[in-house]
Amino acid sequence: MTVRHPCRDDFPALLREFDGQPISYLDNAATTLKPRPVIQAVTEYYETNGANIHRGRHRLSEEASDAYEAARVVIARHLGAPANEVVLVRNTTEALNLVAGGLELPPDAYVVGCLDAHHSQLLPWRRAGRLETTRVDEHGRLDREHFRTLLRGRPRVVALTHCSNVTGVVHPVAELVAEVRAACDAVIVLDAAQSLPHRRIDVQELDVDFMAFSMHKMLGPTGVGVLFGRSERLARLRPLSVGGGMVDWVDLDGSVDRRIPYRFEAGTPAIASVIGSAAAIRYLEEQDTPRQHQHARELCAALVGGAVARPGVRLIGPPGTAGRIALASLRLDDRIPAGEVARLLSDSYGYMVRSGHMCAQPLVSGMAGGEVLRVSAYLYNDVPEIEGFYQALDELLSWIAPAAATGEKLS
């Protein structure tokens, strides 16, 4: 009998079936499913309140404001940060754009990035300055010597990626930060969108100036991104958006911005989603046990082992399990469209996986030569699901590969 992870019952979406086939959700690097406590927190706000925050003195507004700010405190505590160093935005992309634009760099400012960066940690810096990216080796690990060479140019900003959403590699960020601090006085901006769902980060120990992540990748609702920033850095950052909610006073001659972090939070925010994010953090912290960490290692081993054992599949990333999360990007034969395979896995077998360039096209094009199939597991997944996925992939490829070899169109 298959043993199911006990927390699976907390996720209503996993009860769905397609044509009588239970679904297996393996697209967690894109977005995670939501547990009942998160859904209930969001629903409770809409059912019992629904008022705006920070703008009214009536009872409902004050209750909503208190719940919103309490959620900020929960998120801040999870990071080991003061609440006034946590800016609530829409997503990681907005957070990184806020920093890239808010630093007001000169057009020729030298910025060091990483080749395996998500487009959200690549394009804002390309727009803000002169970006050079650190190379990676054949398995997607950073070329440390090349990184040191780039640092000798004394960059104004170093934009780091903690974990690649393509290779699953977790970079030794503490070591990289130490090298940056020893080489120059660059502002260090960390994209933690893929790493924080799997491991806590204490910003009192990790000496970064800014860190961005999204709640929807760690069991929270969509529409909430978080920017952590040192208070002295935030104080010098120019707001990306202006308008209601971020000012204390406006007259015909000028305006006075609110204190940090509120000056960066113009307009009505995603109130219910922020409240739901606090429930997600609490749920994650309850799951932060040695047994769960072992479970994550088992998922990673199943994903990597299943890939390296198959001759018709090429794993994009390290062939081992050390220093990576439970994620595997697979390159199929050039004649087999990854998108079509993803659709068939979903419609015929109930496996939800991702296909494409993963919003990291320079890396995927360089390492894979084309689109990949990405399988990413999370705490509610089980090893038998991974094994079942590979069995389904084997079956599909057994008839797709011969058809592709003859040029026959898949349907």
pLDDT tens for each residue of 258-315: 999 999 999 999 999 999 999 999 999 999 999 999 999 999 999 999 999 998 899 9
Check pLDDT > 50 for residue 211: yes
**Residue 359 annotated in active site:** yes
Q: Would you state the pLDDT for residue 8?
A: 92
pLDDT of residue 5: 76
Tokens representing 376 are 């990413």
**With pLDDT > 70 as the criterion, what percentage of the chain qualifies?**
97
Instruction: Find the helix or strand (DSSP H, E) in which 299 lies.
Output: helix 290-308
Q: How confident is the model at residue 409 (pLDDT cuts 50, 70, 90)?
A: low
Query: What local confidence, expressed as pLDDT, does residue 4 receive?
Result: 67
Q: How many CA atoms lie within 13 A of 207 on its CB side?
A: 11
pLDDT of residue 263: 97
User: Is pLDDT of 2 > 60?
Assistant: no
pLDDT at 180 over 80: yes
**The pLDDT of residue 400:** 87
Q: How confident is the model at residue 55 (pLDDT cuts 50, 70, 90)?
A: confident
3-state secondary structure of 331: strand
Rounded Cα distance between 23 and 293, Å, is: 24
Average pLDDT over residues 346-366: 96
Cα atoms in the 13 Å half-sphere on the side-chain side of 350: 15
pLDDT score, position 53: 96
Statement: residue 140 has pLDDT above 70: yes
Q: Which of 3-7, 75-79, 118-122, 190-194 has the lowest mean pLDDT?
A: 3-7
In the predicted structure, residue 56 carries a pLDDT above the cut 90: no
pLDDT tens, position by position, 6-18: 789 999 999 999 8
| Per-residue confidence (pLDDT) for residue 1, from 0 to 100 | 32
Pair of tokens at residue 399: 């008839």
Q: What is the DSSP-derived secondary structure letter of residue 296?
A: H
Q: What pLDDT band is residue 378 in, cutting at 50, 70 and 90?
A: very high
- 3-state SS, the chain, equals CCCCCHHHHHCHHHHCEECCEECEECECCCCCCCCHHHHHHHHHHHHHCCCCCCCCCCHHHHHHHHHHHHHHHHHHHHHCCCHHHEEEECCHHHHHHHHHHHCCCCCCCEEEEECCCCHHHCHHHHHHCEEEEECECCCCCECHHHHHHHHCCCCCEEEEECECCCCCEECCHHHHHHHHHHHCCCEEEEECCCCCCCCCCCCCCCCCCEEEEEHHHCCCCCCCEEEEECHHHHHCCCCCCCCCCCEEEEECCEEEECCCCHHHCCCCCCHHHHHHHHHHHHHHHHCCCHHHHHHHHHHHHHHHHHHHCCCCCEEECCCCCCCECCEEEEECCCCCCHHHHHHHHHHHHCEECEEECCCCHHHHHHHHCCCEEEEECCCCCCHHHHHHHHHHHHHHHHHHHHHHHCCCCCC
d(CA 208, CA 177): 7
Q: Rounded to 5 degrees, what angle do the CA atoms 250, 255, 261 make? A: 105
* Terminal Cα distance for the chain, rounded: 35
pLDDT at 404: 61
pLDDT digits over 381-406, tens only?
999 999 999 999 999 999 887 766 56
Q: Could you give the strand order of the β-sheet that contains 187-191, starting from the edge strand earlier in sequence? A: 86-89, 225-229, 210-214, 187-191, 157-161, 110-114, 130-134
Higher pLDDT, 383 or 407: 383
**pLDDT score for 406:** 62
- Percent of all residues in the chain with a pLDDT value above 90, rounded to a whole number: 92
Please, which pLDDT band fits residue 113 given cuts at 50, 70 and 90? very high
Name the amino acid, one letter, at 70. Answer: A
Q: How confident is the model at residue 407 (pLDDT cuts 50, 70, 90)?
A: low
CB 217 within 8 A of CB 194: yes
Catalytic: which of 163, 184, 300, 359?
359
Mean pLDDT of 335-341: 94
pLDDT digits (tens, 9 = 90+) for 236-263: 999 999 999 999 999 999 999 999 999 9
The pTM of this model reads 0.95
Q: What is the pLDDT of residue 401?
A: 74
